[in-house]
Amino acid sequence: MGTDIALRFYDVYNRQDVGLLDELLAADYVGEVNGTKIVGAAAAKEFIGAFLAGFPDVQYTVHDVVAQADKVVARWTATATHQGSFAGIEPTGKDVTMLGITIFQVAEGKIRGLWNNWDLFGLLQQLRSS
């Protein structure tokens, strides 16, 4: 079912294993994260890899899931320690919490599309606070 595939997406982060994307993403995958378009598995690996470089211990927790037809919506929080450069900010060692909502489009057992909106502003505030 689509819900299972969508939830496995978070294993990419929780296991720090971008190779899982080869199993999860359709050949014609297109994602959009806070307005940034990501086309194909290679681009997704690069995008997520850059995030994991900044937050290698990130752990996602999914709180709610709603599925209808080919769409799965997940509300989540993620916790991590800022251990690498992110958005031009050098590592702070700060523990942070992120929150967001992701809509997945699942077709034939693969994630074909993804729309992710998360509170980047809130994360940057946490990193810049004293």
Domain edges within the chain: 2-128
Percent of the chain surpassing pLDDT 70: 99
What are phi and psi for residue 33, nearest 5 degrees?
-120, 115
Residue 63 burial class via C-beta count within 10 angstroms: exposed 0-12, middle 13-18, buried 19 and up: exposed
Q: How confident is the model at residue 106 (pLDDT cuts 50, 70, 90)?
A: very high
Percent of the chain surpassing pLDDT 90: 97
Q: Per-residue pLDDT tens for 15-29?
A: 999 999 999 999 999
Residue 74 has pLDDT above 90, yes or no: yes
pLDDT value for 58: 98
Considering only the top CATH level, what class is 2-128? alpha beta
pLDDT value for 10: 98
Q: How confident is the model at residue 1 (pLDDT cuts 50, 70, 90)?
A: low
SS3 percent helix, strand, coil of the chain, rounded to 5, is 35, 45, 20
Mean pLDDT of 97-119: 97
Q: Is-above-0.85 flag for pTM?
A: yes
Mean pLDDT of 48-76: 97
